[in-house]
Amino acid sequence: GYNSVTSSEATRRRTQDAAGGWREMGLTPTLVWAQRFEKVFVTFEMLSCVDVKVEFSEGLLSLQATAGGKEYKLENLPLFAEIEDAESKWSCNDRAVLITLKKKDAIWWDMLTKDKSYKRFIKVDFSKWCEEEDKEYSGDVGGFDDGGMGGFGGMGGMGGM
C-alpha cells in the first residue's frame, strides 16, 4: 500500500548504509564542531532536549535525543580519526548537547568525518575554531557557552593613515 509519508520526509528519515541497503532513522541533527590539539568539540543545537543518549565506540559517535517533540538520531558517525572513548565526555543544557572528544593521537583533523554523506549536517563552529598554527590551538576552550563570535575585531592594516 501507499505510505502517507511524503517523499521529502522519507528521504530525511532514511539513509543508505555502507552495504547499499536503506535503514530507517530519526531526523539527523545539525551540528557544529571545532578542535584543539588534543580535543574535538561537537555541539548539537537542540532546544529543550530530553531523553539524550550519546555513545562513543571505536571511532564512532552516536546521538539520540528528543527536542520539540521530534526524535533526532545520528547513528555511528565515523569520525576522522580514533578517539579515547573513556576520556570523551558529553553534557546537555536547555539549548544544546555538548560533546568533548579526546583525540587518541594529537593530530590535526581535516574534517569531523570522512563520510561525505553527512556534509550537509556538519558546520564549523567559528566561535571556537582556530587554525593549526594558532597559539590557541594547543589551549582549551574556556566554557562551551561563548555567547558571541569573539575574536573578530576591526580591519587590520589601517593604522597610520
Question: Each residue of 69-95: b (16+ CB within 10 Å) or e?
Answer: eeebbbbebebbeebeeeebebebeee
The larger pLDDT score, comparing residue 82 to residue 139, is at 82
Q: What angle do CA 150, 110, 62 make, to 5 degrees?
A: 85
Q: How long is the chain?
A: 161
Evaluate whether residue 11 is within a structural domain.
Answer: no
Nearest-angstrom CA–CA distance, 57 and 82: 9
The whole-chain average pLDDT of the chain stands at 77
Q: What are phi and psi of 7, to 5 degrees?
A: -65, -35
CATH number of the domain that 82 lies in? 2.60.40.790
Nearest-angstrom CA–CA distance, 94 and 14: 28
Give the total number of structural domains in the chain.
1
Evaluate whether residue 125 is within a structural domain.
Answer: no
Pick from 16-25, 57-66, 105-114, 143-152: least confident: 143-152
Distance of CA 93 to the CA centre of its chain: 16
Evaluate whether residue 66 is within a structural domain.
Answer: yes
Evaluate whether residue 146 is within a structural domain.
Answer: no
Evaluate whether residue 9 is within a structural domain.
Answer: no
Mind listing the pLDDT tens digit for each residue in 133-148?
666 655 555 544 433 3
Evaluate whether residue 101 is within a structural domain.
Answer: yes
Evaluate whether residue 22 is within a structural domain.
Answer: no
Note down the domain range covering 92: 31-105
